[in-house]
Structure 1
Amino acid sequence: MVKYFLLLGIFTFLLFFLKFPYYYYFYLFTGLNYLLLFFIIVKLENTISSISNLDLATRSQRHNFKNHIQVIYGLLNIDAFEEAK
């Protein structure tokens, strides 16, 4: 979908530079809008990817923390205080 905005932007800019009649400035602004949408979508995709990576790292840390707490709890239940330290 993103590549379509880029292609539309480039196509409308070509129409602007070829001085296509009637909608001369329309092509300029439409091309700018498509290119702006392209860059916004790319930026959002990068942001979503970063958030996804952060979520994955947080899940991993939470899993490890829960595992450590479970081990300490088990050691305390069997009165292995020295090993729990």
Structure 2
Amino acid sequence: MPRADADFGAARVMLRPACPGFGVIAGGAVRVVLEMAGVENALGKQLRSKNPLNNARATIKATQMMRQFKDVAEERGIPMEELWK
């Protein structure tokens, strides 16, 4: 799940992967959307807006843009373990 940024209106959300076991580290609408989406380990940050609805919509856009580590490794043509170095 490499980094994903998304905008909706004036809201901007930044999502990054977290190490296994960290859980969801985010606040407000970002946390709610990530937990409902089933994301287990992620860092989230709301930028530029305090509107919860726009932050939630930006988070949904960002989660749709996220990719799995195995997909990134296949795209680059390297083993998945190489991404962790």
> In which range does the TM-score fall when normalised by the shorter chain?
under 0.3
Higher helix share: 1
- Calculate the TM-score normalised by the size of structure 1: 0.27
Larger radius of gyration: 1
Higher strand share: 2
More relative contact order, 1 or 2 (CA 8 Å, 6+ apart): 2
